[in-house]
Amino acid sequence: MQGEQIATKAIRFRGWQESRPSAATEPDRLLREAAPACETERMLWILIAIGVVAFVLVLAVYFFNRLVRLRNEVDTGWANIDVQLKRRNDLIPNLIETVKGYAAHERGVFEEVTKARAAMAQASTPGEAGMADSLLGQALGRLFAVAEAYPDLKASQNFLQLQSDLTDTEDKIAAARRYYNATVLAYNTATQTFPSLLLAGAAGFRAREFFAADQDDRAPVAVAFPS
């Protein structure tokens, strides 16, 4: 009887030990309870990282498209100037031939205008074109000074008509210059200021030249006459 009681107590003691949480299993339980919270925090950081990347990409696309738009405006502005410069260059030979009919001895002036016109035609950049435009203006100014000495030339209907045409061309060049230089200023500012400058260099956006000419050195409107 006593032996049975001892066996019963032993079984109960063993069952109590088995049911009692051991020190070794306590950390496991804590880890299992903390796992969902850690997973939630990890997902939160992943979502934040995705949001940051998406925001940066949106900004990059915005600034890239802005630089492209500004560059296209610069190209359009220069194309407008180029058209008017070519139109004026086409008028100059007739002007020279007409003035020669009244002042053939002014050969030095004619040669100066011809050289300045050639330099204008060969200019390959806005900076070069600006300098050539200034020189051409000075040469044309001397040519018009010659024309002033010939009343018959100044009274010619052809002279007056072509003077009107060239005045219109000069006005268009001046307007196109203002527009072009304004677009260059906006574009260059965008490529040199934060944050678009971070993208400009890597994407190949380079600063553009202004088309500048000294207005004080520009000649009166060039004129041309039919040959």
Q: Check which CATH number belongs to the domain holding 169 and give it.
A: 1.20.1440.20
Does residue 7 belong to any structural domain of this protein? Answer: no
Task: Please state, as a whole number, how many other Cβ atoms lie within 10 Å of the Cβ of residue 46.
Answer: 10
Alpha-carbon separation of residue 59 from 19, 55, 62, 191 (angstroms): 61, 6, 5, 15
Does residue 130 belong to any structural domain of this protein? Answer: yes
Q: In the chain, which stretches have pLDDT less than 70?
A: 1-35, 37, 213-227
Does residue 8 belong to any structural domain of this protein? Answer: no
Q: How many residues does the chain have?
A: 227
pLDDT of residue 81: 96
Does residue 24 belong to any structural domain of this protein? Answer: no
Does residue 150 belong to any structural domain of this protein? Answer: yes
Does residue 103 belong to any structural domain of this protein? Answer: yes
Does residue 222 belong to any structural domain of this protein? Answer: no
Whole-number Å distance between alpha carbons of 50 and 57: 11
What are the pLDDT digits (tens) for 46-96?
889 999 999 989 999 999 999 999 999 999 999 999 999 999 999 888 888
Q: What tokens appear for 80 in the block?
A: 């407008």
Alpha-carbon separation of residue 41 from 32, 44, 48, 213 (angstroms): 15, 5, 11, 64
Domain count along the chain = 1
- Residue 71's contacts (CB-CB under 8 Å, 6 or more residues apart) are 187, 205
pLDDT of residue 220: 42
Q: What tokens appear for 8 in the block?
A: 């019963």
What are the pLDDT digits (tens) for 94-104?
888 888 888 88
Does residue 4 belong to any structural domain of this protein? Answer: no
Query: What range defines the domain where residue 46 resides?
Result: 42-217
Whole-number Å distance between alpha carbons of 187 and 83: 22
pTM for this model (two decimals): 0.74
Whole-number Å distance between alpha carbons of 47 and 96: 74
pLDDT of residue 97: 83
Alpha-carbon separation of residue 129 from 109, 136, 197, 212, 216 (angstroms): 21, 10, 28, 8, 17
